[in-house]
């Protein structure tokens, strides 16, 4: 039986500490397991790419050998963003691909994001890979799979520049956080006609300047300073593998993804009246009314890119987004999340205005908290903890209780959310309201519920 660390098999991907929980042998056996799953679906060719992490080339060599030893032909696209790997998978390999990426994790982490036949592997499908490894359920190959190397950056660039058209050039600043997006973003945005100031666009897997996670305000401070001190009108930031987008205005205001989605939804609905728009359970309560007001159908979904992607397929939604910064366009694109492409679409919309920051600042806004986290006791199941809390909770004055992903409680003047993270052993809380007093009132309702469990510590 192949030996492998079980807890690297996460909800949305496989991820671990290189050399400790994620070894070269593990990469090889994961390659064999993916090949076995591919064989079940009649898939013979898989695209393979990696981000800019230092461990990428070595892991690539071993997972590639696992695939080819099982008879899979590999299209090796080298160092790319995760969305560029998806682009190669969709256009060259029937929607099958493996991306070697640690996303926004610390430098010593790496992992694999996988899609087969157009479906992202998540949840049960990832556990099935673990079962294949543990049972040695690999396929014997009639012949070794071939490896073809291809640079797809030109085709990706041309595809975007070919259909995204700006009404005027915009002066922008971009911060790639030394992630792999830095190798491609500047050229793309210049190709669209913009003037670009590049921050930390040299790919460096040590991430020497700041962590490549634009969902955290501390990682946007360099970009905010560049906007305040320079001529750029707008700032774009990307995470380590460039599938998420952060946006900052000239005055240093962060436009969070649920407000970005207002603009994207309005733009798509202008061309496609009645279209469906999907957003995750963490999003602002101002988003659904905005979508309806602009002629769309608003659909709330579980948090997690694999859930959003499958909901898009099921409903035929043309655009979707989640609070972590993933934006998915089906209209004029392929339905996968792409930070660089979302940035291009944003610039296209903003180019109709002489003052992009004003357009963004004028989007509806409530008072809200950042995400608050509560650590769970060792070995506890977050989803079960939420169920137990919800069973005895009372929320006086609530207008709606939503349970698609944790517990979201709507009040006339705000909402509170508590849900279990799918990636780490924590509960995630978020609050939004019309006034500070309302936020505090809603938080106190949730505090009473949380404190009914003696093992949980209120985070404020």
Q: Has residue 78 been placed in a domain?
A: yes
Cα(144)–Cα(249) distance, integer angstroms: 52
Q: Are residues 355 and 373 in the same domain?
A: no
Domain boundary among 105, 135, 151: 151
Q: What does the DSSP 8-state code read for residue 183?
A: G
| pLDDT (0 to 100) of residue 169 | 99
Answer yes or no: is 435 within a domain: yes
58: in domain? yes
103 annotated active-site: yes
Looking at residue 228, its pLDDT comes to: 97
Q: Give the model's pLDDT for residue 379.
A: 83
Q: Which domain holds residue 421?
A: 368-450
- Is 243 marked as a binding-site residue? yes
Q: Is there a single domain that holds both residue 125 and residue 234?
A: no
- Overall pTM surpassing 0.95 (yes/no): yes
Of the residues 55, 70, 96, 103, which is catalytic?
Answer: 103
pLDDT in tens, the chain (460 residues): 678 999 999 989 999 999 999 999 999 999 999 999 999 999 999 999 999 999 999 999 999 999 999 999 999 999 999 999 999 999 999 999 999 999 988 999 999 999 999 999 999 999 999 999 999 999 999 999 999 999 999 999 999 999 999 999 999 999 999 999 999 999 999 999 999 999 999 999 999 999 999 999 999 999 999 999 999 999 999 999 999 999 999 999 999 999 999 999 999 999 999 999 999 999 999 999 999 999 999 999 999 988 999 999 999 999 999 999 999 999 999 999 999 999 999 999 999 999 999 999 999 999 999 889 999 988 889 999 999 999 989 999 999 999 999 999 999 999 999 999 987 889 999 999 999 999 999 999 999 999 999 999 999 8
Q: Are residues 127 and 13 part of one domain?
A: yes
Residues 39 and 61 grouped into a single domain: yes
**Annotated binding residue 6:** no
Task: Tell whether residue 303 is among the known ligand binding residues.
Answer: yes
Same domain, 61 and 146: yes
Nearest alpha carbon to residue 139 among 188, 235, 195, 71: 71
Residue 380 gets the label, from left (phi > 0), alpha (psi -120 to 50) or beta, of beta
**Could you give the dihedral angle defined by the CA atoms of residues 266, 364, 415 and 245, in that order, rounded to the nearest 10 degrees?**
60
Question: Same domain, yes or no, for 289 and 302?
Answer: yes
> How far is CA 100 from its chain centroid?
15
Judgement on whether residues 321 and 236 belong to the same structural domain of the protein: no
274 shares its domain with 356: yes
Q: Which of 24, 35, 156 is nearest to 100 (CA)?
A: 24
H or E, element range at 257? helix 257-271
Predicted pLDDT of residue 445: 97
Q: Assess contact for 83 and 336: CB atoms under 8 A.
A: yes
How far the first Cα of the chain sits from its last, in Å, is 47
- Please check whether residues 238 and 137 belong to one and the same domain: no
pLDDT in tens, 311-344: 999 999 999 999 999 999 999 999 999 999 999 9
pLDDT of residue 305: 85
- Would 457 be classed as within a structural domain? no
Residue 436 lies in a domain: yes
Per the annotation, does 353 bind a ligand?
no
Final residue of a structural domain among 132, 151, 170: 151
- Do residues 61 and 125 share a domain? yes
Asked whether the beta carbons of 258 and 321 are under 8 A apart, the reply is yes
Q: What is the pLDDT of residues 135-170, one digit of tens each?
A: 999 999 999 999 999 999 999 999 999 999 999 999
Do 200 and 219 form a contact (C-beta atoms < 8 A)? no
Annotated binding residue at 241?
yes
Same domain? For 33 and 97 the reply is: yes
Any residues with CB less than 8 A from the CB of 408 and at least 6 apart, and which? 281, 401, 402, 415, 416, 417, 419
State the CATH number of the domain containing residue 226.
3.40.120.10
Taking CA atoms, 368 is separated from 142, 413, 432, 440, in Å, by: 58, 12, 4, 11
What pLDDT does 308 receive?
Answer: 95
Verify that 138 and 47 share a domain, yes or no. yes
175 marked ligand binding residue? no
């Amino acid at each position: 039986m192949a030996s492998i660390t079980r807890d690297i098999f996460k909800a949305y991907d496989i991820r671990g500490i290189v050399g400790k929980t994620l070894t070269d042998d593990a990469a090889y056996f994961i390659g064999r397991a993916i090949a076995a799953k591919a064989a079940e679906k009649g898939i013979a060719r898989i695209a393979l790419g990696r981000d800019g992490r230092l461990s990428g080339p070595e892991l690539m060599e071993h997972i590639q050998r696992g695939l080819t030893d099982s008879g899979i032909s590999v299209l090796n696209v080298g160092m790319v963003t995760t969305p560029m790997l998806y682009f190669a998978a969709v256009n060259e390999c029937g929607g099958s691909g493996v991306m070697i990426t640690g996303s926004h994790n610390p430098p010593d982490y790496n992992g694999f994001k996988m899609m087969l036949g157009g479906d992202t592997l998540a949840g049960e499908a990832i556990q099935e890979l673990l079962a294949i490894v543990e049972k040695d359920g690999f396929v014997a190959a009639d012949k070794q799979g071939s490896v073809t190397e291809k640079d797809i950056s030109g085709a990706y660039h041309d595809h975007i520049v070919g259909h995204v058209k700006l009404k005027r050039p915009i002066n922008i600043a971009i911060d790639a956080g030394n992630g792999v997006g830095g190798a491609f973003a500047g050229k793309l945005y210049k190709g669209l006609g913009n003037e670009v100031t590049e921050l930390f666009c040299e790919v460096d897997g040590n991430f020497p300047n700041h962590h490549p996670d634009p969902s955290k305000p501390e990682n946007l401070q360099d970009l905010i300073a560049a906007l305040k001190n320079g001529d750029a009108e707008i700032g774009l930031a990307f995470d380590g593998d460039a599938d998420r987008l952060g946006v900052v205005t000239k005055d240093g205001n962060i436009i969070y993804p649920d407000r970005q989605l207002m603009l994207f939804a309005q733009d798509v609905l202008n061309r496609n009246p009645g279209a469906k728009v999907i957003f995750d359970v963490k999003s602002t309560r101002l988003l659904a009314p905005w979508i309806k007001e602009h002629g769309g159908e608003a659909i709330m979904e579980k948090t997690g890119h694999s859930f959003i992607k499958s909901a898009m397929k099921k409903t035929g939604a043309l655009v979707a987004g989640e609070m972590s910064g993933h934006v998915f366009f089906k209209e004029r694109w392929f339905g996968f999340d792409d930070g660089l492409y979302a940035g291009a679409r944003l610039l296209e919309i903003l180019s109709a205005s002489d003052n992009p920051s004003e357009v963004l600042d004028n989007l509806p806004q409530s008072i809200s908290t950042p995400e608050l986290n509560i650590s769970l006791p060792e070995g506890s199941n977050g989803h079960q903890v939420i169920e137990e809390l919800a069973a005895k909770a009372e929320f006086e004055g609530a207008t709606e209780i939503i349970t698609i992903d944790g517990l979201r409680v709507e009040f006339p003047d705000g909402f509170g959310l508590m849900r279990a993270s799918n990636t780490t052993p924590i509960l995630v809380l978020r609050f939004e309201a019309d006034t500070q007093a309302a936020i505090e009132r809603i938080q106190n309702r949730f505090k009473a519920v949380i404190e009914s469990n003696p093992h949980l510590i209120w985070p404020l």
